[in-house]
């Protein structure tokens, strides 16, 4: 079954530090991969997506992610964390001809002043 695993349920960084949130997928076919952010008491907002074009994907708010087939990974990074980045982040996967999207368990990002 298609799935994604997010390593680390909670990540804490200092303001201005690098943000790295990890996501690995399990699949025998090329997946579509997404990163979403959820602020408290809100819905999910798309940060970026990978759909087999460029392996380095740039998203909103300075985030980017790199698809690495050899490592089955799609880690999310941001060079410099802002206080406003504190939120829950979800990696998600779907497949061609299938709109059954599955989410990872989520990573809560805390940004310290």
Partner 1 sequence: DTEVTQTPKHLVMGMTNKKSLKCEQHMGHRAMYWYKQKAKKPPELMFVYSYEKLSINESVPSRFSPECPNSSLLNLHLHALQPEDSALYLCASSLGTGGFDEQYFGPGTRLTVT
User: Closest separation between CB of residue 105 and partner 1, Å?
Assistant: 6
Stretch of residues binding partner 1 (CB under 8 A), selected from 17-25, 68-76, 78-86, 95-103: 95-103
Binding of partner 1 by 40 (CB under 8 A): no
Any alpha helices (H) in 3-90, and if so which ranges? none
Binding of partner 1 by 41 (CB under 8 A): yes
Binding of partner 1 by 28 (CB under 8 A): no
Please report, for residues 16, 21, 43, 64, 71, the alpha-carbon distance to residue 74 in angstroms, rounded to integers and kept in the order given: 22, 9, 22, 10, 9
Binding of partner 1 by 95 (CB under 8 A): yes
Which of 26, 58, 105, 112 binds partner 1 (CB under 8 A)? It is: 105
- Does residue 6 sit in helix, strand or coil? strand
Task: Return the bridge partners of 83, or none.
Answer: none
Strand order in the sheet with 73-78: 3-7, 19-26, 73-78, 64-68, 56-58
CA–CA dist 91, 103 (Å, integer) = 6
Contact string 54-93 vs partner 1 (x = CB under 8 A): ------------------------------------x---
Q: Where does this chain bind partner 1 (CB under 8 A)?
A: 32, 34, 36, 41-46, 49, 51, 90, 94-106
């Amino acid at each position: 079954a298609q799935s994604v695993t997010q390593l680390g349920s909670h990540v804490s960084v200092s303001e201005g530090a690098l943000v790295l949130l990890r996501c690995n997928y399990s699949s025998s076919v090329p997946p579509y991969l997404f990163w979403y952010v959820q602020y408290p008491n809100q819905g999910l907002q798309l940060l970026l997506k990978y759909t087999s074009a460029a392996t380095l994907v740039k998203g909103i708010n300075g985030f980017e992610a790199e698809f690495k087939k050899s490592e089955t990974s799609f880690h999310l990074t941001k060079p410099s964390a802002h206080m406003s980045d504190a939120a829950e982040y979800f990696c998600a996967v779907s497949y061609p001809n299938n709109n059954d999207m599955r989410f990872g368990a989520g990573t809560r990002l805390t940004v310290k002043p």
